[in-house]
Structure 1
């Protein structure tokens, strides 16, 4: 099968087209003929070696959509030919065929394969808000990277879950203009947001560094900063605990990889809830770029530079 992978860590140029055997699904797994693969910053981290050095050719890709072509032993509730969206915790989406745990293969009832390929962004946005942030009706939410794939979904999901106000920060005027379409009440430059907002109940932060530190100062009593990424690749913060106690602040984390290992049923519940909102029309996935699989390196270069907006897909099938 045709795939894109890497066997050394490095820049986008290490991604190359390869021919690999079609994998076989094991117990509790399904084989999917991939139509579209979603692009995520976690795949940039994979390529850069944040998850360790590759052991032979490794195929990135944490999400995709396509049709089931084979069932592993013990799989029930799914059938060959079913269109599904899939979370791929072990990667493998940048290929014509990928193996997914059956519990992370989600039926696409009335949802296109193209939209289904954004299932990880949708699941993350829902999980960050409903799980880690414990969003309550009437909360004010501030979303960093407001124009990104997760940010644009989170703005809509927050509103659907009852947020009273949804604010965002962006890195450029062009991104502010783009993000307006997702229902933000206000959008602010990331460098100056702390001077412009206050009394926020929930802050979603995939950026890190100074942005994360400044987010603590805009929290309302019992406000929560939820960390779910490190896109700016700053050194980790060393936060003293006493200011959290003395100012009634909370810092929490969301990592879908850890959740998939320790609480897979929660990942599935979050995914199905997010896809239900998508199917009903309450939210939408905004695909802003669709590249052929052969252009995965160029897509990575754009994503890593921070120039992308919305959801970027690789067209595989």
Structure 2
């Protein structure tokens, strides 16, 4: 099979096209012929050496979508020919989704509801599951479904990003009122297309004033991408017993916590990293995300606020560079090209 791999960490130039043996399933495994692979910040961070490399040769890629090519004897949830989406493909393994075929434990493979596209399927794993955890880490809901967040007000920081986009769409599906912050009119248009009822350009508007006008008692939950920059602001807009859920370190690694301002609110600070969540949280998230996809509540593309950028497998290095440079939208690798 065709794949792209790296043997040493470093810039995107360490990625090389390779030919690898086709994988065969073990008893509890599924082999998927990939149609699309998603590229996430975690992929280039692993490749760049910012996280531990534990295999001599790595095929990057956590997310993807395709068609089941083979199953092990113990697999009952999917069958050959089924359309599926994948999660955490390369976590703890040498081979991820930058390849024509990938072998995974069956619990990492989920049916892709019709008529969802492979583009959508490859965009779900890291962004949608991270967004799900953020939205269910507060007091309002532990699962997402229509009405689960009814009456809640959610502030999504960076609503034009992939996780922010998923958080807006999932929160709206669950019945929340959504406010999103962005850094430009172009990104404001994307957050609105995703479904945010209120969009605040933090470079042109007073975020605290606008949010407090919209939610006088404070927001129930903040889905935060840049806590080092935004914590002081978040503390001014979150309600008593609210939650600030953060999933990235955009803008800095260190935060100074004003203790009285936080404990006096009975505030919950929730860090999020998919790789340490555990299946007790991930399996319900997969089910909820699948239900949202089946309901048409999760979409991708410009009209859904998440522009798509397609690359051939041979151009995986350029795909990594685009994500590392902060391209707006979702980067996908086309395995059928």
Q: Shared fold by TM > 0.5?
A: yes
Choose which of 291, 294, 300 in structure 1 pairs with 2:314: 294
Choose which of 303, 308, 313 in structure 1 pairs with 2:328: 308
Mapped to 1, the partners of 2:274 and 2:189 lie a distance apart of: 30
From the superposition, tell whether residues 202 and 211 of structure 1 become closer, same or farther in structure 2 (CA, over 3 Å).
Answer: same
2:272 maps to: 254
Mapped to 2, the partners of 1:124 and 1:70 lie a distance apart of: 29
Mapped to 2, the partners of 1:212 and 1:19 lie a distance apart of: 47
Choose which of 123, 128, 135 in structure 1 pairs with 2:129: 123
From the superposition, tell whether residues 7 and 190 of structure 1 become closer, same or farther in structure 2 (CA, over 3 Å).
Answer: farther
Q: Structure 1, residues 97-122: CA drift from partner, whole Å, max 9, x if none?
A: 11222112111231232221122122
2:81 maps to: 81
- Post-superposition offset of 1:243: 3.6
Choose which of 169, 172, 185 in structure 2 pairs with 1:159: 172
Mark the runs of 5 or more structure 2 residues left unpaired by the alignment.
Answer: 142-148, 213-217, 302-306
* 8 Å Cα contact 2:137/2:243 also seen in 1: no
- Post-superposition offset of 1:88: 2.7
From the superposition, tell whether residues 282 and 211 of structure 1 become closer, same or farther in structure 2 (CA, over 3 Å).
Answer: same
1:16-35 to 2 correspondences below 5 Å = 16-35=16-35
1:3-82 to 2 correspondences below 5 Å = 3-53=3-53, 55-82=55-82
Mapped to 1, the partners of 2:232 and 2:315 lie a distance apart of: 36
Equivalenced residue count is 311
Mark the runs of 5 or more structure 1 residues left unpaired by the alignment.
Answer: none
* 8 Å Cα contact 1:133/1:226 also seen in 2: no
1:176 maps to: 188
* 2:139 corresponds to 1:140: no
2:255 maps to: 237
* 8 Å Cα contact 2:208/2:237 also seen in 1: yes
* 2:101 corresponds to 1:97: yes
| More deviation, 116-125/126-135 | 126-135
- Post-superposition offset of 1:186: 2.2
From the superposition, tell whether residues 10 and 188 of structure 1 become closer, same or farther in structure 2 (CA, over 3 Å).
Answer: farther
Q: Structure 1, residues 15-51: CA drift from partner, whole Å, max 9, x if none?
A: 2222222233334221111110012111122122232
Q: Structure 1, residues 178-203: CA drift from partner, whole Å, max 9, x if none?
A: 22212212222345534542312111
Mapped to 1, the partners of 2:266 and 2:280 lie a distance apart of: 31
From the superposition, tell whether residues 23 and 129 of structure 1 become closer, same or farther in structure 2 (CA, over 3 Å).
Answer: same
Q: Structure 1, residues 226-264: CA drift from partner, whole Å, max 9, x if none?
A: 0112244x22325365542123321012222112xx3x2
1:203 maps to: 222
2:110 maps to: 106
Mapped to 1, the partners of 2:41 and 2:104 lie a distance apart of: 20
* 8 Å Cα contact 1:65/1:113 also seen in 2: yes
Three-state SS of the structure 2 residue aligned to 1:197 is helix
| More deviation, 112-121/141-150 | 112-121
Q: With structure 2 as the length reference, what TM-score do the two structures score?
A: 0.84
* 2:291 corresponds to 1:276: yes
From the superposition, tell whether residues 46 and 169 of structure 1 become closer, same or farther in structure 2 (CA, over 3 Å).
Answer: same
